Amino acid sequence: MKILVCISHVPDTTSKINFSDNNTKFDTNGVQFVINPNDEFGLTRAMWFKEKQGAHVTVVNVGGAETEPTMRKALAIGADAAIRVNTAATDGFSVAKQLANVINNGGFDLVIAGRESIDYNGGMVPGMIAGLISANFVSNCISLEVDGTSAKAVREIDGGKETVSTSLPLVIGGQKGLVEESDLRIPNMRGIMMARKKPLNVVEPIDTNAETTSVSFEKPIPKGAVTLVSPDNLDELVSLLHNEAKVI
Amino acid sequence: MSVLVYTESEQGTFKKTALEVASYAKAVAKQLNTTVTAVAINTEDTSALGNYGVDKVLSISNSQLDTFNAKTYADVLKQAAENESAKVVIVSSSADSKYLAPLLAVGLNAGYASNVVETPSNTSPFTVKRTAFTNKAFEITQINTNVKIIGVSNNSFGLVENNANASAEDFSPSISESGVTVQSVDKAADKVTIADAEIVVSAGRGLKGPENWGMIEELADVLGAATACSKPVSDLGWRPHSEHVGQTGKPVAANLYIAIGISGAIQHLAGINASKVKVVINTDAEAPFFKAADYGVVGDAFEVVPQLIEKLKAFKAQQ
């Protein structure tokens, strides 16, 4: 089985979010970048398929050279090869088209992407890839087993979960549950050394149109100070929620 | 040319989010000087949509659509959009709508903006405001394609009444094959889900153990709220993963979010930031959550919550 894991290079979850160039660009000053958490759960599941079922795992990213340390980390975790599509990831649809092109050229059976990236939160790339390459698709995937060309997956739905049967070629939008937090791997020295020798192929992008354009960013209006209510006067809290906030 | 909206139902009744997206669609239709057409699948009585500005309903009745299937449903919506020559298609932020929207976008070759929180600020170029960076910021996005898809963030627009006809028309799209088959659905029937809830009651490690969740569930019951939890609580296995809210868990966009014994790590606050009013109950007055909250009680949850339940019961009894 040939697996492609799509990796977004995103600000660490603890990052302070600021913008530059008149609020049109994300300010990367002092920001640490990591593998998108939803993608890392998928990558770790892919390692399981590699070790137990002999899968070959390639990781891919659409982005500039600045994303390469993140890709090397994915190789150090255990991916066999990496591909970087050499263009800025400007909008979800274009990224999906670039990735669909990589998949069509590489003949992958299973594509594991994260449910959404934690920066733009578009949540559209996995589904669009599936649509573009006419593969089966399971979103919000919290469990995945593959046996030959058959697959069984569990999808998180509002208020529960749904078990589905499907077949390869398959695209999933993964999230926590594919593996647990405690299963995530920190690259060891041997992995880091080996990652240096693994291939990281840079491919040039295909032409795409920008279906959507990011115009600018805004930060939420800073909150006013909290109104403290004494634990001995909870009637006041009920009254504030009813009369002032009007939420009960 | 009308604005098309997908109005989801469950067991024949429209979900609250369906009425919200209908309200939103009406506002967009006003901007574009056009009408609203809703797509309703296996919903016998579609008249409720008229109260929220829907002019026409494409009513689909087909047993092959009894179980949600993203590919099949996306294909049905594509046919509806083409039938109406819709230039704007509106969906909700439910798990199902978010599942089908990217497939529909490919089908219609449409630009798709998800998590949109306001009506378009401009219709030419078509410009919307959406949340990004897990609610730490907003992104102003322009959709450049001829057909546009908008995913409306839950509870961002609310229900707005507008009288219209909601004249129902039978619609019989062709049903496509899907390579994904649902085997079983595991869902608590009588529980409010985090996605649909107007009020969410959430608790953290301050509760000391899973055996102490009885009062959290009781508080949620009194308020008709969904229950949620912080990441450490789900990692410890005290509560199911499906209740974990935050950056890597579920986002919450409730009208009221009550956090009990949750300190307020930045990842947690990001996940719940889209909620309108936040209340924190914590023994530690220095907990970061107090900086993000509207109302706070510095006190022991084991004393405050049972009292709050009694006060709320008394309040509800008077209503």
Asked if A142's CB is within 8 angstroms of B141's CB, the reply is no
Q: Give residue for tokens 């990842």.
A: B267
- Model confidence at B255: pLDDT above 80: yes
Chain B stretch 138-157, residues whose beta carbon is closer than 8 A to a beta carbon of chain A? 138-145
Task: Write down how long chain A is.
Answer: 248
Q: List, by residue range, all CATH 3.40.50.620 domains of chain B.
A: 3-170
Distance CA B207, CA B289 (A): 16
- Set of chain A residues whose Cβ sits within 8 Å of the Cβ of B122: none
> Cβ contact (<8 Å) for B103 and A127?
yes
Residue B188 above 80 pLDDT?
A: no
Contact between A156 and A96 (Cβ < 8 Å):
no
Task: Mark yes or no for CB contact B143/A209 under 8 Å.
Answer: no
Helix-strand-coil percent breakdown of chain B, rounded to 5? 35, 30, 40
Residues of chain B with CATH 3.40.50.1220: 199-318
What's the whole-number mean pLDDT along residues B48-58?
Answer: 97
Size of interface A-B (CB pairs under 8 A): 260
B199-318 CATH choice from 2.40.170.20, 3.30.470.10, 3.90.1150.10, 3.40.50.1220: 3.40.50.1220
What's the mean pLDDT in A27-53? 97
Residues of chain B contacting residue A132, judged by C-beta atoms under 8 Å apart: 106
pLDDT-derived band of residue A221, with 50, 70 and 90 as boundaries? confident
Architecture (CATH level 2) of domain B3-170: 3-Layer(aba) Sandwich (3.40)
**How far is the CA of B278 from the CAs of A169, A237, B296, in angstroms?**
44, 12, 8
B189: pLDDT strictly greater than 80: no
With vertex at residue A143, the alpha carbon angle to CA B72 and CA B107, rounded to the nearest 5 degrees, is 25
- Asked if B106 and A166 come within 8 Å (Cβ–Cβ), the reply is no
Q: Dump pLDDT digits (tens) for A66-103.
A: 999 999 999 999 999 999 999 999 999 999 999 999 99
B196 band by pLDDT with thresholds 50, 70 and 90? confident
Closest partner residue to B141 (CB to CB) among A215, A224, A235 is A215
CA-to-CA distance for A209 and A84, rounded, in angstroms? 20
Give me the mean pLDDT over the B154-164 stretch.
94
Cα angle A162-A163-A168, degrees, rounded to a multiple of 5: 125
Is the minimum CB–CB distance between B161 and chain A shorter than 8 Å? no
Minimum mean pLDDT range among A210-214, A221-225, B259-263 = A221-225
Provide mean pLDDT across the span B190-219: 93
Q: Does domain A2-219 have CATH number 3.40.50.10860?
A: no
Mutate: best of B93, B141, B266, B276, partner A, most A CBs <10 A: B141
Give yes or no for B313 touching A (CB within 8 A). no
pLDDT at residue B40 in the model: 98
pLDDT at residue B296, rounded to an integer = 97
Contact call for B186 and A124, based on CB within 8 A: no
ipTM: 0.96
